[in-house]
Amino acid sequence: MKTLRSKLLLIFLVITCVPLTVAGIISYQTQKNDLTDRIEQTLFIYSDNLSLAIEDIIRERLSDLEQLSDNPVLMNDQAEDEEIQQEFMKFIHNHELYYGLIFVNPEGEVTVDTDGTVVGNNVADREWFQQAQEGGLFLSDIFRSPVVDSPILAMASSVENEEGEVIGVISPSFDLEKLWSFLWERVGEYSQQQENMSASADTFILNQSGDYIAHPNQDYILEKNFLEQTNKSMKSMEEFGNQPGLIRNEEGQSVSAIAPVGKMEGFSNEWYVGVSVPENEVYAPLRGLLWKYIALFSVVLLITVTAAFRLSRYITGPVENLVSAASAFAEGKKVPPLHSNAYEEVNKLNRTFNDMTERLDEREKAHRKSTLILEATDNGVISINREDLTITTFNRTCENLFGCKKENVLGRPLHKVKEECPEFAAFIKHVQLSDDRDHRSSIFEFDCSIQGWTHSFFLSNTPLPSSEKDGRVEDYLLVFKEITEKREMERELLRSEKLKVIGRLSAGFAHEIRNPLTTIHGFMQLFKESPDTGGVSSYHYQIIISEIERVNSIVEDLLTIARPEKVEDKDYLDLNEILTHTLYLFQARTDHHNISVVQALDTELPKIYGEEKKLKQVFMNLIKNAVEALEQDGSIMVETTRRSDYSRQGVRIRIIDDGCGMDAETLDKLGSPFYTTKADGTGLGLMTCFQIIEEAGGSMDVSSEEGSGSEFDIWLPVE
């Protein structure tokens, strides 16, 4: 026992056999419990699914009754008894479970009976009538009728007219034997799907008292009590009111799974579904499991002893080589690849070790390259730990911008760095470090003052998930770029564009105003040179007034664009209602020109918050343009749908016509001031529409093709 081989053999056998024995015992107990749980769970699932099947049957019967009570003939309090009788016969013909129906008026008198045997009888004192008279459905518990001396089940439903008044009660009669036959047929179908269920399993239904109300053996129904047979109390039954449970019958040596039948509208009875299986059949797999474990343990023990004896001779050499290589690599030395010339386990360890060293070398190279890129980029990069808000990354761009050395920043709390570096504090106050559980990035722009100068930044804030992939946010990654020069160029470009637009607007305004003023000036000159005309004629007067009104219209449109109203009369608006009203205003014109109008309005369209007057102006203008584009025989479609844009809830309005359309040049200039293709247009209508939609926070896209019609696509936010 002084050799390493002998010691390894002894230790190997001890540390192998002892854990194997303990593991075998624990594994057997675990699998025994698991198998027991699965067997019992199978019973639970079986009983629970049977409970659902019972619920489906009850729900179907209640649904039959509810559908019959909603029959228009029955709901008509003026209907004749013969009409009700015909509807009853149709119902019985379509539902073979039922063989009779009665209709009872509010006073409790039977007025219609498919059998004609109880017409005129008064049933006002019956429980099912009183329950149904209060409104709704009623399904009684199964009880033994003293009249027919057999189990029966009463069903009833109120019948209400269109005003919601109870005008009567209907009660069907059905054959319980057919109902239970239907149930056992479903039970048989489900039993065939359960491989673990014994063929000798019994299925039954109990009431609140434990009496059998359904059983394959008809002699059990309302004659025997399950609680008495199993020596259980009523409390045991109450415990199954919320979930399935097991009851063991020691005398009968059986196991029963009990599951409650769910209550529903019209059914409030305490019913339970039970499945009873012989106990020796339920737990028979456990005995087979024990013998399998004994055989498995014997085989594994024999193999383990043999393997320990053979492998102990080869284990020391390859392991020592592996340990030496690992130690050298840990010290930073270059380790040559290990040869795989031992047995498979050590060969696999050697290959794994070689792969590990190669990947670590590659990772080190990638890390150095990433660090070089991080330091060389013009973008600023900062990472902050979410837990303690310490700065973990701070590249060269950040050093130059904030005047802080990386050595004085990394690993330090955020508030300390803000105290020591005012420039960094001015920058970081614009960043919101929140716990983003959805790992969503935020991108935004902001301005801040650094070293006396105003800088503009474009920043991306990205929560970095933990490397352990547990869904936690580990760091906040801030990547930013200075865009100060770009913003200055954009401002200069915007100023140039504004001056250009002002020039075009002024030229167009002067041109539009000059035309009517020239007309007025011509008439005034004519009147001056012709004093004998006797004053301004009515014809000339109307022309002058028309031209003056044209000037006033141009000036008003221009003022609307240049100085929009600031008083906002906003409210939650129904766009479907506004569009319907607007289309109604054009109905006479569309009918006259044989133009069809199609409305595809989403009935569940959400209301939007906006100004009704301005939106009406937009829709009036667009629909008017669509009508004018159709001289004769055409179609206009107005469609509304719900659509989200960039995580914002909104609605979409499309106005489509199949008129003359627009060419590329017209489409390009669309919305420009004073640009119009109409003889009497001002060129300000569509420009006003674009401005109103933009003020509402929406957008309007136009697509058109000459000869194929036009489409105006509007998107408006809900809020």
What does the DSSP assignment read for 452-513?
TEEEEEEEEEEEEEPTT-SS-EEEEEEEEEE-HHHHHHHHHHHHHHHHHHHHHHHHHHHHHH
Confidence of residue 521 (pLDDT cuts 50, 70, 90): low
Q: Are residues 712 and 577 part of one domain?
A: yes
Residue 348 covered by a domain: yes
pLDDT digit string, tens, across residues 61-103: 888 888 888 888 888 888 888 888 888 888 888 887 788 888 9
User: Between residues 502 and 599, which one has the greater pLDDT?
Assistant: 599
pLDDT (0 to 100) of residue 641: 93
Q: Are residues 610 and 578 part of one domain?
A: yes
Confidence of residue 654 (pLDDT cuts 50, 70, 90): very high
Average pLDDT of the chain is 77
Q: Are residues 588 and 463 part of one domain?
A: no
Confidence of residue 515 (pLDDT cuts 50, 70, 90): low
Q: Are residues 617 and 519 part of one domain?
A: no
Q: Are residues 441 and 389 part of one domain?
A: yes
Given a cut of 90, is residue 652 above it in pLDDT?
yes
Looking at the chain, the whole-number percentage of residues with pLDDT higher than 90 is 4
pLDDT digit string, tens, across residues 298-338: 787 777 777 777 767 667 667 667 777 777 777 777 778 77
Q: Are residues 323 and 356 part of one domain?
A: yes
Task: Report, as an integer, the average pLDDT of 205-228.
Answer: 81
For residues 705 and 566, what is the distance between their CA atoms, to the nearest angstrom?
Answer: 37
Residue 134 covered by a domain: no
CB atoms within 10 A of CB 58: 20
Confidence of residue 651 (pLDDT cuts 50, 70, 90): very high
Residue 88 covered by a domain: no
Given a cut of 60, is residue 25 above it in pLDDT?
yes
Q: Are residues 449 and 581 part of one domain?
A: no
Given a cut of 90, is residue 253 above it in pLDDT?
no
Domain end marker among 283, 298, 328: 283
Given a cut of 80, is residue 675 above it in pLDDT?
no
Given a cut of 60, is residue 195 above it in pLDDT?
no
Q: Are residues 666 and 623 part of one domain?
A: yes
Residue 72 covered by a domain: no
Residue ranges of E strands in 96-174: 98-104, 110-113, 137-139, 143-145, 150-152, 155-160, 166-174
Nearest partner of 69 among 9, 154, 151, 156, judged by Cα = 156
pLDDT (0 to 100) of residue 587: 84
pLDDT digit string, tens, across residues 446-470: 888 887 788 888 888 888 887 666 6
DSSP assignment letter at 656: E
Residue 148 covered by a domain: no
- Whole-structure pTM value: 0.39
Residue 585 covered by a domain: yes
pLDDT (0 to 100) of residue 445: 83
CATH assignment at residue 403 = 3.30.450.20
User: Between residues 489 and 343, which one has the greater pLDDT?
Assistant: 489
Confidence of residue 529 (pLDDT cuts 50, 70, 90): low
Looking at the chain, the whole-number percentage of residues with pLDDT higher than 70 is 76
Residue 453 covered by a domain: yes
Confidence of residue 194 (pLDDT cuts 50, 70, 90): low
Q: Are residues 396 and 356 part of one domain?
A: no
DSSP string over 397-453: HHHHHHT--GGGTTTSBHHHHHHH-HHHHHHHTT------TT---EEEEEEEEETTE
Domain range spanning residue 335?
316-369
Task: Report, as an integer, the average pLDDT of 526-539.
Answer: 61
Residue 403 covered by a domain: yes
pLDDT (0 to 100) of residue 668: 73
Given a cut of 90, is residue 119 above it in pLDDT?
no
The helix or strand, by DSSP H or E, that contains position 654, with its residue range, turns out to be strand 648-657
Domain end marker among 435, 456, 482: 482
Please state the domain count of the chain: 5
pLDDT digit string, tens, across residues 149-183: 677 778 888 888 888 888 888 888 877 777 677 66
Domain end marker among 482, 506, 535: 482
CATH assignment at residue 708 = 3.30.565.10
Given a cut of 70, is residue 111 above it in pLDDT?
yes
pLDDT (0 to 100) of residue 45: 78
pLDDT (0 to 100) of residue 2: 60
Q: Are residues 701 and 599 part of one domain?
A: yes
